[in-house]
Amino acid sequence: MRIVRYSKKALCILLCMLLVMPLYAAAEVPLSEPEASAYILIEKETGTVLAEKNATERRAMASITKLMTTLLIIEDIESGRINLTDNVTASANAAAMGGSQIYLEENEVMDVDTLLKSIFVASANDACVAMAEHLEGSVEAFVERMNNRAQELGLTDTVYKNPHGLDEDGHYSSAQDIATISRMILSHDIARKYTCIWQDQIRDGKFDLTNTNKLVHYYDGITGLKTGSTTKAGSCLSASAKRNGMELIAVVLNSPTSEMRFTDAKKLLDYGFANYQLTTLTTPKEVFSQVPVAYAKETSVELYPEESLTFLQEKLTAKEPTKRVEYYPLTAPVSPGTVAGKLYFEIDGTIIKETNLIVKKEVPKLSFLELFWQFLRML
């Protein structure tokens, strides 16, 4: 048997290689460039842009238009203006719509729930028109409302000409604006009821629905959202997915083919999940501490963060934030919502997030007699 002997130099080289290898393993995962003409990747909670190209370029958006249509429907449901069980009668105008549809017949009656599902899952143009007329009396009035809402949301590169997205001069948006409205849609639980349906049926099982977003069928953590495709817009997609508490939104406009839009969105989502992490620092439900209250029946009161705080970091350089607190003196009576301190999160001495610490319940003041007896006890 031959015994192999290593020199000290060779052992040193081997040791250095072993020490360097983990550094390569922890390196940033590069983005495989999407084929789409314009795209953007954002983190949903903070709105932070993680990747983009031509993100503010105004382009036709096809059926991604329906994100605004469904947002207005959902806002009306949540305000109590309409209910999911309300019946909607299809007009001749709605029944005459082309493109993707559920083939509504004139005077056919469907409830809001069925029409909303048909828009989200099957991208039904006729369902959009039926709902637009039901809500505002005409398509034109509904489109005016769409544009007003776009201005309220700060969508500076978006103009709507119809509620469905079929090609029309002057009807456009941008990847950045679409990402913004996608965030809005995902903030509503009603929307999430429909965005991940892969297959379903309507008309008592006589008509099948299959989601136009194929990522719903196979992408890990998918949460939505909406496809679009016309001659002018090309193949478009706004796709969202959530893993380990972080939700990402990828918007691609004018991908070369229908299949490529899914590949493009997957590239963006994969890149985001591989390189970033979202940490929840605190929530309003967390009891942070108790502080004394002068001249109160209760000697102390619990404090809560005023809002949820999250922090997005690159995985490669992630650091654990530290907490720092300032307390303010409290004297009864104390009302709910009173600010009683400040909570800071810092990394290397730099404040990354901050919020008020508040009281959530009323703390009454001692009566004169109670104060007198307290004084006697102190003596």
Q: Would you name the residues annotated as active-site residues?
A: 63, 66, 123
Residue 155 and residue 173 in contact, taking contact as beta carbons nearer than 8 Å: yes
Distances (CA, A) of 269 to 38, 250, 274, 360: 15, 6, 9, 39
Q: Count of CB atoms within 10 A of residue 8's CB? A: 7
State whether residue 197 is helix, strand or coil: coil
13's tokens: 């080289």
256's tokens: 């070369």
Q: Give the single-character DSSP code of 316.
A: G
Burial track 95-120 (b if 16+ CB lie within 10 A, e otherwise): bebebbbbebeeebebebbbbbbbbb
Distance CA 246, CA 177 (A): 21
Residue 74 and residue 117 in contact, taking contact as beta carbons nearer than 8 Å: no
State whether residue 82 is helix, strand or coil: coil
Distance CA 177, CA 175 (A): 6
- CA atoms within 13 Å, Cβ hemisphere of 347: 11
Side chain identity, residue 240: S
Distance CA 265, CA 41 (A): 9
Distance CA 98, CA 332 (A): 67
